[in-house]
């Protein structure tokens, strides 16, 4: 799921070298993915009204359901 989020984010931004995804696991087994991009690319990843960010979360959560896991996607500064 980390690789999927990283792949999608790199396709959206102008500078793919600044895309990074950190993965953490919480006590209840939930995987938290923190997405960071370059300063100029946050608008591209979030999208108008958060539509792009919502779509990213939906795709990653769908992949997590197939793996029987719970995933949260955070976009961090």
Q: Which domains does the chain have, with CATH numbers?
A: 2-75 (3.30.300.20)
CA–CA gap between residue 9 and residue 41 (Å, rounded): 10
- Name the DSSP letter for residue 68: T
* pLDDT for residue 32: 96
Q: Is the pTM of this model over 0.75?
A: yes
pLDDT in tens, 37-51: 999 999 999 999 999
CA–CA gap between residue 42 and residue 10 (Å, rounded): 12
Blockwise average pLDDT, block size 10, the chain, 77 residues: 94 94 94 94 94 95 92 92
DSSP labels, 5-30: HHHHHHHHSS-GGG-EEEEEE-TTS-
Per cent of the chain over pLDDT 90 is 94
């Amino acid at each position: 799921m980390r690789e999927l989020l990283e792949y999608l984010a790199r396709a959206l931004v102008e500078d793919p070298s600044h895309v990074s995804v950190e993965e953490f696991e919480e006590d209840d087994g939930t995987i938290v993915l923190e997405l960071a991009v370059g300063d100029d690319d946050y608008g591209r990843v979030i999208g108008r009204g958060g539509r792009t960010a919502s779509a990213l979360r939906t795709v990653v959560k769908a992949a997590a359901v197939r793996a029987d896991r719970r995933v949260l996607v955070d976009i961090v500064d």
